[in-house]
Amino acid sequence: MRRVLVLDTNAQPLMPCHPARAKELLDKGKAAVYRRFPFTIILKYAVQADNQPLQVKVDPGSRTTGIALVAEGQRGRRVVWAAELQHRGQLVHEKLVARAQLRRGRRSRKTRYRPPRFNNRRRPEGGLPPSLRSRVQNVQTWIARLCRFAPVSSISLEVVRFDTQALERPEIDGVEYQQGTLWGYEVREYLLEKWGRTCAYCGTQNVPLEIEHIVPKSRGGSDRVSNLTLACTGCNQDKGNRTTEEYGFPHIQAQARRPLKDAAAVNSTRFALWRWCCDTFALPVEVGTGGRTKYNRSQQGYPKAHWIDAACVGASGAWVYIAPNSTPLLVKATGRGSRQMCRLDRYGFPRTSPKHVKRVHGFQTGDIVRAVVPKGQHAGTHTGRVAVRASGRFRVGPVDGISWRHCCLLHRTDGYEYPIQKGLEAHSFPA
């Protein structure tokens, strides 16, 4: 079960507590809700801090990043809090492409004499494209947030997802993790990521997969990763010493040479996050590889999940206890609105007047609110994200036309989307 983050009366972080303990403190009036997501309470009485070593562990990904808080006590390391952060890097890339196409078309229609200016713009040295910078900034936000709400003593990052040069040349010297059992785990994790954890021939999932040579070694094939794929036991035995083309799958060779876009995105951002952690926090920063993460998770028998991979990052992830009923907080990056002043019709003309203010009666579009309507058409309790209007009649979730007077703020919009859950995170305390 995910623990609740706790602050003392001076807003200094304490060790996370059990949800039942947090509910007891809230019911007795000894604590108040400080933040909904991640759920954090603040005590109303002074206590003496007795904090254990707490480590933030991050498994960066191109689409989803796993985050875990691991506490180290007398009984060993255990996961006390976890989250899975879904990025919007692909959406940022699509919007940039759409903007570039619009500007290119406008230039050709209206100012054909004006040369393009994209070659004149200078990028900062070591800078990242906006789609990759969005991923890094999302992880930075949550690391800083956890360091503010929990007594973090160290940080652990997976900075090397795949070392493509070492994978192509296993005989290269100077890399320790290749000279042992981790080398096989690097190759297996790379192939699982590349082929989508499915059999390349029959498409079967959730079965034991074997490393299979596209061109068999008996026919002159090599152990390079460009000549490796995944197959179930039946397909591997049925294929025998035939090539994939002879077996009836000529497209597999072309797919094997296709680069990993997601792996390239992680490799491009790996050191940017590490440098930021070293420069921002005066804390020890542990680093690890994807092969070690897979090795730690396999040795402990945990299933594949982003937040579990985060708990198993680095040397400190060799032995981590994860309770069977543990669940991560699901977080989705949505951005902080748009710069569009008003909506357009299908012809591209504005259909409303530009918006004047962002907040109406203290509420902003995207805030999570609870509306208690005593009577009328929408009588009842409604919880969800609000869409504000200047008239004061808001839309809360799917229900439209609720007065602002019936709304109580639970969580202000912060650029992320969270699941609206009943129970402790919906405790009726003012935000």
Give one DSSP letter per residue of 391-430, joined into a string.
TSEEEETTEEEEEGGGEEEEE---SEE----SSGGG-S--
| 186 in Cβ contact with 290 (< 8 Å) | yes
DSSP 51: P
Token pair for residue 398?
Answer: 């799917």
Residue 275 CA to residue 139 CA, distance in Å, equals 13
Q: What is the pLDDT of residue 100?
A: 84
Which CATH class name applies to 165-256? Answer: mainly alpha
Which superfamily does CATH assign the domain made up of 4-89+128-162+261-333 to?
Answer: YqgF/RNase H-like domain (3.30.420.140)
Q: What is the mean pLDDT of the chain?
A: 84
DSSP labels, 278-309: HHH-SS-EEEEEHHHHHHHHHHHTPPP-HHHH
Q: What is the pLDDT of residue 184?
A: 60
Residue 58 CA to residue 308 CA, distance in Å, equals 10
Q: Lowest mean pLDDT: which of 193-202, 254-263, 317-326?
A: 254-263
Residue 429 CA to residue 55 CA, distance in Å, equals 30
What's the Cα-to-Cα distance from 158 to each of 145, 202, 287, 313, 366, rounded to whole Å?
19, 33, 6, 6, 33
pLDDT at 428 over 60: no
pLDDT at 406 over 90: yes
pLDDT digits (tens, 9 = 90+) for 64-92: 999 999 999 888 899 999 999 999 998 99
Q: What is the pLDDT of residue 44?
A: 94
Instruction: Please give the residue that has the higher pLDDT: either 124 or 300.
Output: 300
| 131 in Cβ contact with 266 (< 8 Å) | no
For range 401-424, the mean pLDDT: 84
Q: What is the pLDDT of residue 171?
A: 43
| 311 in Cβ contact with 68 (< 8 Å) | yes
Token pair for residue 193?
Answer: 């990521």
How many Cα atoms within 13 Å fall on the side-chain side of residue 88?
16
* Percentage of the chain exceeding pLDDT 90: 48
Q: What is the pLDDT of residue 426?
A: 44
pLDDT at 172 over 60: no
pLDDT band of 241, cuts 50, 70, 90: confident
Q: If you average pLDDT over each of 35-39, 221-225, 348-352, 422-426, which comes out highest?
A: 35-39
Element of type H or E holding 192: helix 181-194
pLDDT band of 32, cuts 50, 70, 90: very high
pLDDT band of 354, cuts 50, 70, 90: confident
Q: If you average pLDDT over each of 106-110, 170-174, 331-335, which comes out highest?
A: 331-335
For range 222-244, the mean pLDDT: 86
Closest CA to 80 of 88, 89, 90, 70: 70
Instruction: Please give the residue that has the higher pLDDT: either 259 or 298.
Output: 298
pLDDT at 382 over 50: yes
pLDDT band of 183, cuts 50, 70, 90: low
pLDDT at 168 over 70: no
Q: What is the pLDDT of residue 422?
A: 52
Element of type H or E holding 268: helix 261-280
Closest CA to 246 of 216, 210, 202, 290: 216
Q: How many residues would you count in the chain? A: 431
Q: What is the pLDDT of residue 29?
A: 94
pLDDT at 21 over 90: yes
* Percentage of the chain exceeding pLDDT 70: 87
Q: What is the pLDDT of residue 92?
A: 92
Residue 261: exposure state from Cβ atoms within 10 A (0-12, 13-18, ≥19): exposed
Residue 251 CA to residue 139 CA, distance in Å, equals 37
Phi, psi of 95 (to 5 degrees): -70, -35
Q: Lowest mean pLDDT: which of 143-157, 267-281, 399-413?
A: 267-281
Token pair for residue 292?
Answer: 């070690």
For range 16-25, the mean pLDDT: 94
pLDDT at 414 over 80: yes
For range 162-167, the mean pLDDT: 51
pLDDT band of 60, cuts 50, 70, 90: very high
How many Cα atoms within 13 Å fall on the side-chain side of residue 97?
7
For range 330-356, the mean pLDDT: 82
Residue 52 CA to residue 72 CA, distance in Å, equals 6
Residue 75 CA to residue 78 CA, distance in Å, equals 8
Residue 77 CA to residue 306 CA, distance in Å, equals 18
pLDDT band of 299, cuts 50, 70, 90: very high
pLDDT at 261 over 80: no
Residue 66 CA to residue 74 CA, distance in Å, equals 26
Token pair for residue 305?
Answer: 């999940």
